[in-house]
Structure 1
Amino acid sequence: MPLIKPFAALRPALAHAADVAAPPYDVMSAAEARRMVEGRPWSFLHISRPEVDLPEGIDPYSPPVYAKARENLDRMLGEGVLVRDASPGYYIYRLTMGAHRQTGLVAAASIDAYDRDRIKRHELTRPVKEDDRVRQIDALNAQTGPVLLACRARSDIDALLAGLVAGPAETDVTAPDGIRHELWPIMDESLIAELTAAFDGLDALYIADGHHRCAAASRVAAMRRAANPDHTGAEPYNFMLAVIFPHDQMRILDYNRVVKDLHGHSVESLMQRLSVAFEIEGAPGPVAPGRPGEFGMYLAGHWYRLALDPGRIPYDDPVGRLDVSLLQDNVIGPILGIQDPRRDERIDFVGGIRGLEALSARVDAGEMAVAFALHPTRMEDLMAVADAGEVMPPKSTWFEPKLADGLASHLLTA
């Protein structure tokens, strides 16, 4: 089977695109989701976060939640708010956030390629989150949250995609956060064949965001394959909803750290310990690291720039050389005593979209004792980790802009 194939997407009727489009299901709390759907009966959050229509406090992983998702999907289908395309196609997806723009392809990506590591992963999954997506896909008989994939940039693919967005987009939605989402359906058979061949010429695709969705899609496919004596491999359940962007168009923001206490250190003793591995320089304001191996630190009302001794950077280790690893291995673990950042409640993570002021605010409020600003992980580093079959530390990447849910869903029936 090819790496990707066209599919007949379930999409909002054009008059309802802005009503339906919603942020990804996993970027807000239950309370925030409830506020977001107020006065918005067609928001896709009624499908992706169906607990918003059930009593507060309900277990989001309980059977009534998945049943409500299916009920809401059927309601939106019945009202003509969501409509399935008559024939398979691809969809060009453009994201615009301020001056940043990226153009990619919505496609059904091969689950066999994922199982065989041609769609490469770099992150561990949590069973409870994976189980949730399995139940969601099974209840809806559809994949509604697209996986964000990256491909190594190639001039022929760039030119092909650019040539398909010359005219106005069929779907053009600017979300409340200011991010513009544009979609161009590609139904011409010759163009479909050209896109399929171009992407099938790639050695690999890389999961940027959506490891749980990939793992869940693979599990659902395995279950349905086992239950289908006439399985051929071409059934829709053998593919997963994905949006693929060239790696050099993707934007990773910093993913910063805040720690609740100094692990018994005074400010003075912490600074002394840090000086063993870092060159420390005071700064008059927030410090955005200018290069890998450099960090900002906010401590006791002051910003500092920390430059790690280059001799401590394992340049030949794709995981060890990441800034998140350098901070963990030189500060968070040995000095602040947090050995397992996945589970230790003394540490929290702040996406760069919130700005450096969010770090100092939490320290000034007394909620945290120290904050660290990191240089963003580079796409090249993510792909190097995936190529090596390794796993990145938790909270290594924060992608912006984010895809919208609801603009294209993949039904698991032909």
Structure 2
Amino acid sequence: CSSLASEDEAFNFVMMTLVDFSDPGLIILPPHRLVRGISKSILNGLMAKLRAFFEIEELPLSVPSVWQQVDDLLMETNEIRLFLFGLAEPLLALRLRDFTTASQMMPYFHSELYKRLDVSIADHIILEKLLGLSSGREEARITYSYDRQDAVNRVLDQEYQLAFLLSPVKIGVVKAIADAGDRLPRKSTYFYPKLPAGLVFYRLV
């Protein structure tokens, strides 16, 4: 009976890990989005819809340095930019045209910092508005990868149709959004390294 249990019983506590924001070993990996189950008609019209919101640059995959260029650009934070793989033969670099218009299409209660994240742009503008998906309710059609090469390979293997390659959320931005009383989009961070499984566990008897 729980009324007879001690206050010190393990089930009265929640396990957590606390890491200093300034720890140089703390890394946040990027939250790439992978989608499937999109109809041919929607895919055929997606490019035109994207052009209404983004300046689109085609990056030929035949250029040996293209993936290094992608990695370098994803580390920049001065522009809202993401990459789309799978819609056309070249890789597509998407740069947001007008933040104000995009901001008005997101829930009003979110902070400006939240709305400027490329993961927010991907979720609210592309997945929800243009593709008719919801990142929180489409687990069969949306998945997440925190490794760029893995995301690309899963499209090449035809497991998924499209990969949206995103920038990692900066640690300072995570703190700033929390300080603003806001929360990050779903599946927008992957803190690394992880604790080894089984390092700490509840006493069983």
Alignment partners' CA distance in 2, 1:405 and 1:267: 41
| Structure 1 residues 372 and 407, CA gap change in structure 2 (3 angstroms) | same
Query: TM-score, normalised on structure 1?
Result: 0.38
- Answer yes or no: is 1:329 the counterpart of 2:124: yes
The structural deviation recorded for 1:335 is: 0.9
Bigger strand fraction: 1
- Output the amino acid matched with 2:196: A
| Structure 1 residues 248 and 330, CA gap change in structure 2 (3 angstroms) | farther
The structural deviation recorded for 1:390 is: 2.3
Between 1 and 2, higher relative CO (CA 8 Å, sep ≥ 6) is seen in: 2
Determine helix, strand or coil for the equivalent of 1:399. strand
Output one character per residue of 1:104-125: Cα deviation in whole Å (capped at 9) or x when no partner: xxxxxxxxxxxxxxxxxxxxxx
Alignment partners' CA distance in 2, 1:398 and 1:380: 15
Alignment-derived partner of residue 188 in structure 1: none
Choose from 20, 31, 42 the match for 1:245.
20
Alignment-derived partner of residue 68 in structure 1: none
The structural deviation recorded for 1:375 is: 0.4
- 8 Å Cα contact 1:319/1:390 also seen in 2: yes
Alignment partners' CA distance in 2, 1:409 and 1:363: 37
The structural deviation recorded for 1:346 is: 1.4
The structural deviation recorded for 1:350 is: 0.8
- Output the amino acid matched with 1:280: I
Alignment-derived partner of residue 85 in structure 2: 298
- 8 Å Cα contact 2:42/2:131 also seen in 1: no
Query: TM-score, normalised on structure 2?
Result: 0.72
Alignment partners' CA distance in 2, 1:264 and 1:337: 14
Gaps of 5+ in 2: 1-5, 104-109
| Structure 1 residues 385 and 330, CA gap change in structure 2 (3 angstroms) | same
Gaps of 5+ in 1: 1-137, 143-216, 222-238
- Answer yes or no: is 1:257 the counterpart of 2:44: no
- 8 Å Cα contact 2:31/2:166 also seen in 1: yes
- Answer yes or no: is 1:351 the counterpart of 2:146: yes
Alignment partners' CA distance in 1, 2:137 and 2:95: 28
Output one character per residue of 1:115-142: Cα deviation in whole Å (capped at 9) or x when no partner: xxxxxxxxxxxxxxxxxxxxxxx9xx54
| Structure 1 residues 254 and 241, CA gap change in structure 2 (3 angstroms) | closer
Alignment partners' CA distance in 2, 1:396 and 1:242: 19
Determine helix, strand or coil for the equivalent of 1:396. coil
Alignment partners' CA distance in 2, 1:275 and 1:303: 15
Alignment partners' CA distance in 2, 1:271 and 1:395: 25
**Length, aligned pairs only:** 176
Alignment-derived partner of residue 282 in structure 1: 58
Alignment partners' CA distance in 2, 1:370 and 1:242: 34
The structural deviation recorded for 1:261 is: 3.7
Alignment partners' CA distance in 2, 1:405 and 1:268: 44
- Structure showing greater radius of gyration is 1
Alignment partners' CA distance in 1, 2:111 and 2:84: 26
Percent identity of equivalent pairs: 29
Q: Which structure 2 residues correspond to residues 105-120 of structure 1 after superposition, within 5 A?
A: none
| Structure 1 residues 290 and 304, CA gap change in structure 2 (3 angstroms) | farther
Alignment-derived partner of residue 107 in structure 2: none
Alignment partners' CA distance in 2, 1:374 and 1:341: 15
Q: Once superposed, what is the RMSD of the aligned Cα atoms?
A: 3.0
Output one character per residue of 1:309-358: Cα deviation in whole Å (capped at 9) or x when no partner: 243465952322222111112211111110x3122121111123xxx222
The structural deviation recorded for 1:268 is: 4.7
Output one character per residue of 1:47-76: Cα deviation in whole Å (capped at 9) or x when no partner: xxxxxxxxxxxxxxxxxxxxxxxxxxxxxx
- 8 Å Cα contact 1:298/1:359 also seen in 2: no
